[in-house]
């Protein structure tokens, strides 16, 4: 039977989040209905309300979430009612071409991320006669949501909800951007632009991979201080020019092996600074999102050819959800990955607009909605 759920939705850009009561259908084949306990406040959802994400409106927000399976549809085998789960914002069916070749981060069942429509062409959220999708086919800013079973990752009982929800997106995206996508190695010099929820994990990944220098560029003093005192950055600067000068000096002119872009908004100026800060055979890894109407990657080809530089994008940090999420939680248990420290503040669902104001003003590394909060 359908149920009523409280949710934060976006009706369009530049008008913020609106709280409404939605009707939520029963799960269909290979679908589950989850009661979310916590939802991460990722900047990607802010791109919806800022008009920088091409989505179908209205949209139920939220793509980082953890909770309990309330019910399941036909032929569900991965989880059962009562199971604790993390929801990955990219599903992993295990059978499509990307999954079967080791690239679960590009599973074809994630193709409707911008509409939230299910693969049969229907929706599970309804507001009167209007159909709504959940962002990345999740919608964790709702207390309940129907999601694909392929998006569910079993979660052990000892992991707190506010930590678990972040491992569905921000943690592996940042960590993997350094460890997998960039391929940081022992002794490398790494520069990370942006030290928020994703960038902090890129810093941790780079240090764990053995980087000698992990240099953060962020205009917010709080984030610079946290990056160096908590997450392992060796140096932090407010501006790219300061970081560039330091990298030139400390590497004797060889420049950085890797520059990873995890800021609020990727800009052309930032990409150009990153390329010029990268040394011979180095790599620029772009993880953050830019404005929809602006081209951020725009420079002379000679800058790549002369130093044999690479510029590449990273989705989910090249992580495989079913493998990397449990591995990251294992590192957390062992005290080798700091996740509790990512959560600057928790919020009630009713405070979602204030939460994103705090994010934009640089007050949080990561905010988390507690649905029972």
CATH code where residue 54 lies: 3.90.180.10
* Residue 350 resides in a domain: yes
State whether 9 and 155 are in the same domain.
yes
H or E, element range at 356: helix 352-360
Rounded Cα distance, 106 and 335, in Å: 30
For residue 72, count other CB atoms closer than 10 A to its CB: 22
State whether 149 and 188 are in the same domain.
no
Task: Give all strands (DSSP E) within 158-227, no chain letters.
Answer: 189-193, 213-217
Question: What does the pLDDT read at residue 85?
Answer: 98
**58 cis-preceded (ω within 30 degrees of 0):** yes
* Residue 53 resides in a domain: yes
Residue 314: φ, ψ to 5°: -135, 125
Model-level pTM? 0.97
* Residue 321 resides in a domain: no
Question: What does the pLDDT read at residue 292?
Answer: 84
Judge contact between 64 and 44, C-beta under 8 A: no
Question: What does the pLDDT read at residue 31?
Answer: 98
State whether 117 and 240 are in the same domain.
no
Question: What does the pLDDT read at residue 304?
Answer: 93
Cα 200–201–206 angle (5° rounding)?
105
Question: What does the pLDDT read at residue 373?
Answer: 65
Question: What does the pLDDT read at residue 118?
Answer: 97
Q: DSSP characters for 304-345?
A: HHTTT-EEEE-SGGG--HHHHHHHHHHHHHTTSS--GGGEEE
Give me the half-sphere count of Cα atoms (radius 13 Å) on the Cβ side of residue 259: 28
Rounded Cα distance, 148 and 202, in Å: 28
* Residue 323 resides in a domain: no
Rounded Cα distance, 96 and 179, in Å: 24
* Residue 255 resides in a domain: yes
Residue 194's nearest CA partner among 278, 285, 106 is: 285
In the structure, how many helices (H) and strands (E) does the chain have? 11, 18
* Residue 334 resides in a domain: no
State whether 22 and 123 are in the same domain.
yes
For residue 35, count other CB atoms closer than 10 A to its CB: 16
* Residue 145 resides in a domain: yes
CATH number at residue 230: 3.40.50.720
* Residue 270 resides in a domain: yes
Residue 67: φ, ψ to 5°: -175, -155
State whether 271 and 189 are in the same domain.
yes
- Domain region containing 83: 3-168+339-370
Question: What does the pLDDT read at residue 23?
Answer: 98
State whether 8 and 157 are in the same domain.
yes
- What is the spatial order of strands in the sheet that 256-261 belongs to? 235-237, 213-217, 189-193, 256-261, 278-286, 310-313
| 214 three-class SS | strand
State whether 67 and 178 are in the same domain.
no
Residue 74: φ, ψ to 5°: -60, 145
State whether 129 and 182 are in the same domain.
no
State whether 110 and 188 are in the same domain.
no
User: Which portions of the chain are predicted below pLDDT 50?
Assistant: none
Counting the structural domains of the chain, the total is 2
State whether 67 and 153 are in the same domain.
yes
Find all residues with CB under 8 Å of 73, minimum gap 6, and list them. 26, 27, 28, 29, 30, 31, 32
Helices (H), 168-220: 170-176, 199-208
H or E, element range at 227: helix 221-229
Residue 152's nearest CA partner among 34, 2, 59 is: 34
Rounded Cα distance, 309 and 237, in Å: 23
State whether 151 and 16 are in the same domain.
yes
Judge contact between 319 and 176, C-beta under 8 A: yes
Judge contact between 325 and 337, C-beta under 8 A: no
State whether 102 and 242 are in the same domain.
no
């Amino acid at each position: 039977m359908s149920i009523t759920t409280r949710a934060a939705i976006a009706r369009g850009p530049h008008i913020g989040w609106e709280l409404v009561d939605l009707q939520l259908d029963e799960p269909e084949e290979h679908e589950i209905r989850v009661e979310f306990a916590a939802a991460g406040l990722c900047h990607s959802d802010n791109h919806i309300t800022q008009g920088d994400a091409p989505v179908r409106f209205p949209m139920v927000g939220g793509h980082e979430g953890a909770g309990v399976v309330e019910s399941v549809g036909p032929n569900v085998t991965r989880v059962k009612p009562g199971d604790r789960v993390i929801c990955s914002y990219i599903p992993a069916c295990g059978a499509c071409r990307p999954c079967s070749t080791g690239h679960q981060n590009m599973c074809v069942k994630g193709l409707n991320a911008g509409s939230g429509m299910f693969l049969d062409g229907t929706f599970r959220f309804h507001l009167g006669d209007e159909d709504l999708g959940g962002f990345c086919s999740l919608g964790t800013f709702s207390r309940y949501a129907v999601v694909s079973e392929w998006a569910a990752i079993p979660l052990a009982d000892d992991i707190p909800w506010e930590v678990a929800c972040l491992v569905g997106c921000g943690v592996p995206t940042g960590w993997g951007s350094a460890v997998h996508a960039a391929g940081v190695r022992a002794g490398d010099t790494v520069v990370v632009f942006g030290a928020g929820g994703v960038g902090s994990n890129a810093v941790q990944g780079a240090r764990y991979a053995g980087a000698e220098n992990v240099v953060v560029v962020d205009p917010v003093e709080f984030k610079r201080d946290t990056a160096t005192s908590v997450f392992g950055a060796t140096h932090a600067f407010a501006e790219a020019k300061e970081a560039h000068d330091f990298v030139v000096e400390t590497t004797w002119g060889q420049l950085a092996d890797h520059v990873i872009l995890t800021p609020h908004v990727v800009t052309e100026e930032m990409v150009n600074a990153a390329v010029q800060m990268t040394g011979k055979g180095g790599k620029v890894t772009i993880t953050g999102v830019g404005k929809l109407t602006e081209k951020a990657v725009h420079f002379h080809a000679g800058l790549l050819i002369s130093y044999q530089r690479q510029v590449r994008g990273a989705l989910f940090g090249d992580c495989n959800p079913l493998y990397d999420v449990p591995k990251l939680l294992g590192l957390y248990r062992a005290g080798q990955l700091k996740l509790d420290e990512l959560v600057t503040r928790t919020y009630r669902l009713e405070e979602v607009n204030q939460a994103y104001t705090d994010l934009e003003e640089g007050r949080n590394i990561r905010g988390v909605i507690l649905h029972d909060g």
